[in-house]
Structure 1
Amino acid sequence: MTANTTRHSGAAKSRIAAAGAIAVAGTLLLAGCGDQTKDDSGKDSGKKTGGGSSASAPLAGKLPKEIRDKGVVKVGSDIAYPPVEFKDKSGKTVGLDLDLATALGKQLGVEFQFENGTFDTLLTGLRSKRYDLAMSAMTDTADRQNGVDAETGKKVGEGVDFVDYFTAGVSIYTPKGKTQSIKTWDDLCGKKVVLQRGTVSDDLAKSQAKKCPAGKKLAIESYDNDQQAQTRLRAGGGDAGSSDFPVAAYAVKTSGGGKDFELVGEQVEAAPYGIAFAKSNTQLRDAVKAALDAIIENGEYDKIIAKWGVDAGKVTAAKVNGGK
């Protein structure tokens, strides 16, 4: 599946970004719903991935000593965003981010332990040191780097640093066969859109709502995760939904066996996904950047990207704070 990329002028950027045609493989596992935080045994608070002896890991020495000694990197993630991170039918946490974290862990000699949380609380958890990093299809933006609220333009925190690892985009989708001629964000005026709060879709909808003419209000319903928004749209509770293009395309392909939704219009807001770090945690940031460059160089990164069918979103080198 392919789509063009279009810049949406004047809109704030958040979780998502668009970067050309991204094909979603037909072999992907069906998404599992829920907001679980236990692993398959039901005993753990998160999903561990990667790791191995630090003695056999080429980049272990780059990690902060306390993380190297623990052997674990705590990762904040909204594990309800297929195909990036989600639970499959058996309840196992899977996805693009999980596979990349496994590969990074092998380079660094640690396990990446994913802990589930709602997306709009991940950066707060990072600042409070609940997580060592956040990896959750999060768009690297200048606002996030600087701790600025995208909607108000006001300073709300010290900001975070990002290591960019992928690019993606924002799409609109509707119930299948009920597009109501929706193709652009302007076409949503007078309609209701359902989406996940704290995302770029949320930012774009709020920006668009200010532009809609009198008598054609854009109604916005936001939810803790994207799957809840999809459920609402399936039930007839909205005219359209919006999310990252890979996520929207995955939902279109898998929901109801491909009979529930359809993509409309073009992607907007090109920008990178980034792994987020506290500003004070530069050593961990640089260690993860080095590990990402290593798996790009050795070909493991390309294999993971190809597995999930998102080749057009891959990067050729890790970059710190590349978002605008």
Structure 2
Amino acid sequence: MTASTTRRTTATRSRLAAVASIAVAGALILTGCGDQTKDNGSDSSETSAAPLADKLPQAIRDKGVIRVGSDIAYAPVEFKDDSGKTAGIDPDLAAAMGKQLGVKFEFQNATFDTLIGGLASKRYDIAMSAMTDTKDRQEGIDGDTGKKVGEGVDFVDYFTAGVSLYTNKGDAQGISTWDDLCGKTMAVQRNTFSHDLAKDQAEKCKKDGKGTLKIEDFATNPEAETRMRSKGADVVSADFPIAAYSVKNAGGGKYFEIVGDQVEAGPYGIAVAKDNTELRDALQAAVQAIIDNGEYKKIIEKWGVADGAITEAKINGGS
């Protein structure tokens, strides 16, 4: 499946969009069950034998584990496969990084809206969960109120993705752009970038007098999809890789269809607490190493998302 990206300006942000396409492969979406489900995402070598091990904080080297907060219900980025193992783009990238750093990445399941708080409370060392790197998240700003609500996080960017709309198959209801959402009901995972865009669009619909965009937010994307399947919502928004995966796999490809172009392409980032700069820099070095040695390309191509690949692991590259 191929989709292009258009530029869309909201009241709070404007991003450059990029052309992207995806040929998604895999199994049916399976959600993680319960918080703190643990999976070792790496078969890494001993710390002493890893080329970048000395870049890690000593405490992590001693443990041999990086604890990863993740919403493991967002295929194909991270999800539970048929055997119950954590699978997807992020676990595969983490395993490759683990070889460079000499540690295991231990994925722990949580809802997306608790991940940054989990970093602040030191429940996790990092959050890796298709999280868009934005200035608000970097600075700890609540996007709705504009007020500072936390210390913010640093990001190590590792992928690029836009946002898509999808509906029940054969029931697009005339939706092809975000302006077509006025008068509709959207289901969306809360506190995601899609949720932010939906709230911006709702304000635009109200300002333009074109009808109300009703937003229903859920803890996970599969819950939002279930709401749409039951006709409780007209449309779902999610990052394009996730939308395309659902369209291809849910109901054997019979449930959903993407409508219109993806918008607002931006970087996914690995989130790290502001005071953990040593770990942040080690992760940046590891991402760059797997880009340079070709492992990154193999993983991205395996999941059919090559158009979202990056060539440089930047820190806080989001806007």
Which of these residues, 207, 217, 232, is aligned with residue 237 of structure 1? 232
Which of these residues, 187, 198, 201, is aligned with residue 191 of structure 2? 198
1:29 is aligned with what amino acid? A
Residue 218 (structure 1) aligned with residue 213 (structure 2): yes
Q: Distance in 1 between matches of 2:85 and 2:11?
A: 36
For residues 79-116 of structure 1, give each alpha carbon's deviation from its aligned partner in whole angstroms, at most 9, with x where no partner exists: 00000000112211100000000000110000000111
Q: Distance in 1 between matches of 2:11 and 2:103?
A: 39
Partner of 1:284: 279
2:40 is aligned with what amino acid? K
Q: Distance in 1 between matches of 2:176 and 2:5?
A: 13
Partner of 1:42: none
Partner of 1:29: 27
Residue 180 (structure 1) aligned with residue 173 (structure 2): yes
Q: Distance in 2 between matches of 1:20 and 1:37?
A: 36
Partner of 2:313: 318
Q: Distance in 2 between matches of 1:101 and 1:11?
A: 35
Question: Does the CA contact (< 8 Å) of 1:168 and 1:273 recur in 2?
Answer: yes
The CA deviation at 1:68 is 0.2
Partner of 2:48: 55
Partner of 1:5: 5
Q: Distance in 2 between matches of 1:190 and 1:61?
A: 56
The CA deviation at 1:33 is 2.5
Partner of 2:182: 189
For residues 286-317 of structure 1, give each alpha carbon's deviation from its aligned partner in whole angstroms, at most 9, with x where no partner exists: 00111111111110000000000000000011
- What is the root-mean-square deviation in Å for CA atoms of aligned residues? 1.6
What stretches of structure 1 of length at least 5 have no aligned partner? 39-44
Which of these residues, 270, 277, 287, is aligned with residue 275 of structure 1? 270
SS in 1 for 2:233: coil
What stretches of structure 2 of length at least 5 have no aligned partner? none
SS in 2 for 1:32: coil
The CA deviation at 1:122 is 0.3
Question: Does the CA contact (< 8 Å) of 2:10 and 2:201 recur in 1?
Answer: no
Q: Distance in 1 between matches of 2:105 and 2:195?
A: 29
2:271 is aligned with what amino acid? A
The CA deviation at 1:236 is 1.2
Question: Does the CA contact (< 8 Å) of 1:18 and 1:170 recur in 2?
Answer: no
Q: Distance in 2 between matches of 1:207 and 1:196?
A: 15
Q: Distance in 1 between matches of 2:163 and 2:46?
A: 39
Aligned residue pairs, count: 315
Question: Does the CA contact (< 8 Å) of 1:60 and 1:108 recur in 2?
Answer: yes
For residues 13-33 of structure 1, give each alpha carbon's deviation from its aligned partner in whole angstroms, at most 9, with x where no partner exists: 7xx9964223133x3122113
Superposition TM-score, scaled by structure 1 size: 0.94
Partner of 1:150: 143
- Pairing of 1:62-211 with structure 2 (within 5 A): 62-211=55-204
The CA deviation at 1:2 is 1.4
Distance 1:23 1:301, change over 3 A: same
Partner of 1:251: 246
The CA deviation at 1:36 is 3.6
Quick one: percent identity of the two aligned structures? 62
Q: Distance in 2 between matches of 1:18 and 1:3?
A: 12
Superposition TM-score, scaled by structure 2 size: 0.95
The CA deviation at 1:140 is 0.4
2:6 is aligned with what amino acid? T
Question: Does the CA contact (< 8 Å) of 1:167 and 1:270 recur in 2?
Answer: yes
